[in-house]
Structure 1
Amino acid sequence: MARSARWTNPTTAGHPAAGNAQGRGGDQPGLDYLRYRSVWPLTLLALKSTACALAFTRTPGFQTPSEFLENPSQSSRLMAPFRKHVKPKKQHEIRRLGELVKKLSDLTGCTQVVDVGSGQGHLSRFMSLGLGLMVKSLEGNQRLVSRAQRLDQELLQALNKMEKRHPKVVQRGPRHSPHHVVQWVSPTALCEELLLPLETSGQGSARLLLTGLHACGDLSVALLRHFCCCSEVVALASVGCCYMKLSDPGSYPLSQWVAGLPGHELPYRLREGACHALEDYAERLQNAGPGLQTHCFRAALETVIRHVCPELRRPGVQGIPRVHELKIEEYVQQGLQRVGLDPQLPLDLAALRAQQAQENRVVAFFSLALMLAPLVETLILLDRLLYLEEQGFYAELLPIFSPELSPRNLVLVATKTPLGQAFSILENEDI
């Protein structure tokens, strides 16, 4: 019998529309969206309660990552060479997922780990040079692969120096750098390179474990299909991301159960909203800082873009620093430049000022959207879990990362043989 993901009935504390800042209106003059002069409508309370009750828990089995108690920017659980060039968020992610993969590899007898969409190889380096796993890394961008190979050599040199200075601290023994391959993985066709064993593994037939850290859009679905179709793949540990980039149809829904639900369709807006940082926005609401105006400014920029270039829909706008220090017209000018449009276009300043005056309504709308975000993510991930279970495999969703550090914090773990209670120990902080 396949194991199901654990459901939760969380309290309402901590959710954006839950009234985290309810008691702060009196000491924050001028911030009308923090003042509640009447009881919330029962329909809104019921919606919030239902959304919270039906969503998978995002709370891991630890309160605060102990690795950052001494220094919020340096994980105490990673040796210094593994922290170089790696931001705290990524330090937390590679350690947690890497150690989960190591444990899962031991439990399933895997001979090789395949890191799909490996980017600059931070996870692959930790798994191979830090945990002793045989790792193949697949990445479609040649520039990123070249960068990963340079970082491999830099890390090896640092580890060798550390071993000479502190032989009792650094584990001795042969080190295997990850094997990097420039390879794009199709969401619809099997990738032969992914299934090839490493010559250095010294094994006959390979037993592969597939992993992907925030594999974007269809790439997460590709991992699931390789797991289901290929006898060589015996385990999976996948953390998805960028749900708005899923092919429709084709990558959602995957399971027969979700496909049979009336109204199961998820338009772009809902899938995009499920990728936002819920906990971060809740904190911003509590602090009631000027950063809350970002979404209002972005909405104003969108109206200008659609007026100037109607065919340019949903353009990716690179982050604009220190938004709260900019006038709205300055923000729009920088945004136009970032999407390849003329920043000196004449602007309707009166219209922009009128849109800026709607900031409180934008905050309220975005809070409602984020209240539903975990529920949308739950449906997408539940669909993937049921897709595996319908084919007789064993799967579970585990909140592996601190959501404050890494909002996409649910890892889909799957095996082809039952692990029983072993699933429950994979998410502990001390894996």
Structure 2
Amino acid sequence: MAATPASGGAYSCETAERTREWMEALAAFLRGHRPLLEAHVVNFFEDKLWELVDAEWMECLRREPVESLLKLPSGCVQDHWPATLQEFVLTARSLVIPREQKPPQSFVSDIHVASIGTVLAQGMNSKKKHEIENLAAVVHAIAKSCGAKIVVDVGSGQGYLAQALSFEYQLPVVAIDASSHHASVTIARAERIKKHYAAKCVGKQLLTVPRTVTCHVLSSDTLATVTLDACKDDHGQHLGETNAACTKKSPQIQEPTQSSSPLILAGLHACGDLSVNMLRAFVSCKQVKALVSVGCCYNLLSEDSYKDTNTCSGFPMSKAAKLSELVLGKSIRDLACQSAERWRSLTVDIALQNFDVHAFRAAFQMVLEKYFPEVSRLSPSIGRQGKALRRQRLRKVVESQMATEKTYDSSCSTFKQQNLNTDDVDSVICGVDTGPDDIHHGECRKFTLFKDFTLSGLGRLGCGSVEDMNLLEIWKDVQPFSEYIGPFWCLRAALGPLVETYILLDRLLFLQEQSNLAEALLFPLFDPTVSPRNMADLRCDATNMGRLKDDQHNRISPAAVARATVPVLADDGSASRWTHTRTQRESRRGPSVLTPLSRFAHPEAPGDAAGQFQLLFTDRCSNSVAVQRERGNGWHTPPHSALDLEAPTVVMVVASQHTTVS
């Protein structure tokens, strides 16, 4: 994979050495523009951030058509721009990893991207459907090539990927997520899908209905074991029956055997450190045959000290990046989520609305500084108020147009039959002709919107209005400089893809530094306009992505894999924060010797909900899962049942608030 700069040079990540060279060039460029990287638009007026940029650049860009500004992050320059500005834009773009979607057949053979039907696609928007169709096809093809029998969907959310793999491709899937809400949604959705597939099974013995099971790590003394019949009768699979052989007293469980099924790890937009821990799991467990992961939320990555190259933070991962000592920080990592493709696809009206909202937020910061300095020092967040403001404004425009029976263009021709809810407003936002009275027209109207924005923001922060608060004076002071916000924000946005490229190359180099890996690459799996976070980490332990070796001697059951993979469950960003400690195989009190997957602690839970838990995969009854809870001075081990994972199955493993089990 390479990016070609305008100068005719090229960057490549085909080898570790070439990847390091690319990262060094990126680091040098980013260090040279650190003030622009670290600047926060909310402080635009307060800190006079336009002065950070070359005055000649700003004077040029403020006169540019909005269309030219929107193309700037994509590397498009104009001949009349200052030479230094052109050099900045072209050099920045030359350092960005190519993101245009490629056909999956270019890296893995024997692949067919199936279109997901309406039943499986329920609840998905067009973006999610596009992602699931492409990712599921790739996971299936790689699993088939490398002989992986089970897919572990890490950070599975509402189970879209897991259910597509199981129902569409007939793969057993273990779906892991830390949200009990996601589990309940997944269960309800799976039941609806199963009814459809069960109806199709009538008279068709060859069509099997995938089974879905949810395993809860219980927050009580009750220990949960979930059973599922692995047997078939002459008419197909029984759903939800108990295998009597699995309810007997468990024999001693041994280490994983060579006959255990190999696995593939998969993750769609695994948030923050989730993607990072998947990579470490792949490296630490040689028996994992492959990994396909698309990351996101770089702002949520942990960032550690550069002194110790053995640290396990989310960034940096590679030894070379740690030694370079390039510190990013949350604000810069947040900038990595900017998409040049999305910028280029914006309409002029929407772009101007975005610039106005940034101006309102920066002016609101001036209000806080003047009238609520103690609140301002806390760096408060007022939520996605800009988005709400745009929706509110658009709603008024649409209602006005509907009242006058104005004709809509074809892009929103169905809007008249719909209610004006949030999703409807979003769906037509690019198609409505908002007219001359739009948000960006008329300074009086802008001040009114700024006033509404300010009062709403103060309300969200719990601040009452001050009687002598002169908002008009503040707006008059900042308004002459508001025209610089668009150019400034576009210049910062041009740096975002460089930050993302550096983070992605750091992950790739981390794998390239491992001597036992023969194949690791980054691949643009999705259309970047539809799904901006479209770069997939593809890792395998073979030399050919098209025909992966199926090494029987390296196969392993979920027991060993889980010790490395489950730490990604530790924190999904929800109110309940789970901590974990990885464990090795140990003997526990009770009749069985088990292979611990991971231990969990819930320090914030009240009463008997607090304590230590461990989730285990066992080798009894094929591949199986069980749960233990610490009680007294040891681990309580109940009689164990098993989940057979040889047939198409979705197993949802989730942290739960339950206190009893029926």
TM above 0.5, one fold? yes
2:4 alignment counterpart: 9
**SS of equivalent residue, structure 1 residue 160:** helix
Matched, 1:331 2:453: yes
1:379 alignment counterpart: 502
CA distance in 1 between partners of 2:481 and 2:62 (Å): 20
1:401 alignment counterpart: 526
Alpha-carbon deviation of 1:211? Answer: 1.3
Amino acid at match of 1:97: L
**SS of equivalent residue, structure 1 residue 212:** strand
Amino acid at match of 2:375: C
**SS of equivalent residue, structure 2 residue 119:** helix
2:282 alignment counterpart: 227
CA distance in 2 between partners of 1:176 and 1:154 (Å): 12
1:58-88 C-alpha deviation (Å, 9 max, x unpaired): 10126xxxxxxxxxxxx99220112211111
CA distance in 1 between partners of 2:547 and 2:303 (Å): 35
Say which of 292, 301, 308 aligns to 1:246: 301
Alignment of 1:258-337 (within 5 A): 258-261=321-324, 264-284=326-346, 286=348, 289-292=351-354, 293-302=356-365, 304=367, 307=373, 309-310=375-376, 312-313=378-379, 315=381, 317-318=383-384, 320-323=387-390, 325=393, 327-337=449-459
Matched, 1:157 2:223: no
Alignment of 1:200-219 (within 5 A): 204-219=259-274
**SS of equivalent residue, structure 1 residue 345:** coil
CA distance in 1 between partners of 2:498 and 2:180 (Å): 37
- On the 8 A contact 1:139/1:182 being kept in 2, the answer is no
Alignment of 1:100-111 (within 5 A): 100-111=138-149
1:380-430 C-alpha deviation (Å, 9 max, x unpaired): 00000110111132210001111111111100100122225669xxxxxxx
Alpha-carbon deviation of 1:312? Answer: 3.8
1:54 alignment counterpart: 95
CA distance in 2 between partners of 1:50 and 1:206 (Å): 48
Matched, 1:173 2:207: yes
CA distance in 1 between partners of 2:327 and 2:271 (Å): 20
**SS of equivalent residue, structure 1 residue 83:** coil
Change (3 A) 1:363 1:233: same
Change (3 A) 1:23 1:395: same
CA distance in 2 between partners of 1:356 and 1:135 (Å): 56
1:195-218 C-alpha deviation (Å, 9 max, x unpaired): xxx995999423121111111111
**SS of equivalent residue, structure 1 residue 123:** helix
Alpha-carbon deviation of 1:313? Answer: 3.3
Change (3 A) 1:336 1:85: farther
CA distance in 2 between partners of 1:217 and 1:56 (Å): 20
Say which of 461, 464, 475 aligns to 1:341: 461
CA distance in 2 between partners of 1:289 and 1:305 (Å): 26
CA distance in 1 between partners of 2:503 and 2:86 (Å): 24
- On the 8 A contact 1:323/1:331 being kept in 2, the answer is no
> Percent identity at matched positions?
29
1:110-157 C-alpha deviation (Å, 9 max, x unpaired): 111111111111111111111111111111111111111111111112
**SS of equivalent residue, structure 1 residue 252:** coil
Change (3 A) 1:37 1:83: closer
TM-score if structure 2 supplies the norm length? 0.51
CA distance in 1 between partners of 2:361 and 2:547 (Å): 46
CA distance in 1 between partners of 2:98 and 2:193 (Å): 36
Q: Which runs of 5+ in 2 are unaligned?
A: 8-56, 68-76, 104-112, 218-227, 233-256, 305-312, 394-438, 440-448, 549-662
Alpha-carbon deviation of 1:331? Answer: 2.3
Matched, 1:84 2:122: yes
Matched, 1:370 2:493: yes
Change (3 A) 1:288 1:79: closer
Q: Which has the larger radius of gyration?
A: 2
Amino acid at match of 1:418: T
CA distance in 1 between partners of 2:163 and 2:157 (Å): 11
Alpha-carbon deviation of 1:223? Answer: 0.7
Change (3 A) 1:7 1:133: same
For this pair of structures, how many residues does the alignment match?
373
TM-score if structure 1 supplies the norm length? 0.76
Change (3 A) 1:45 1:112: same
Higher relative contact order (CA 8 A, sep 6+): 2
1:159-189 C-alpha deviation (Å, 9 max, x unpaired): 334666xx99xx9521324554457xxxxxx
Alignment of 1:109-124 (within 5 A): 109-124=147-162
**SS of equivalent residue, structure 1 residue 321:** helix
2:291 alignment counterpart: 236
Alpha-carbon deviation of 1:51? Answer: 1.3
- On the 8 A contact 1:254/1:387 being kept in 2, the answer is yes
**SS of equivalent residue, structure 1 residue 81:** coil
Alpha-carbon deviation of 1:335? Answer: 3.9
- On the 8 A contact 1:216/1:242 being kept in 2, the answer is yes
Alpha-carbon deviation of 1:376? Answer: 0.7
Alpha-carbon deviation of 1:235? Answer: 1.0
Change (3 A) 1:359 1:213: farther
Amino acid at match of 1:7: A
- On the 8 A contact 1:397/1:411 being kept in 2, the answer is yes
CA distance in 2 between partners of 1:251 and 1:49 (Å): 30
CA distance in 2 between partners of 1:178 and 1:258 (Å): 42
Change (3 A) 1:403 1:348: farther
CA distance in 1 between partners of 2:163 and 2:143 (Å): 16
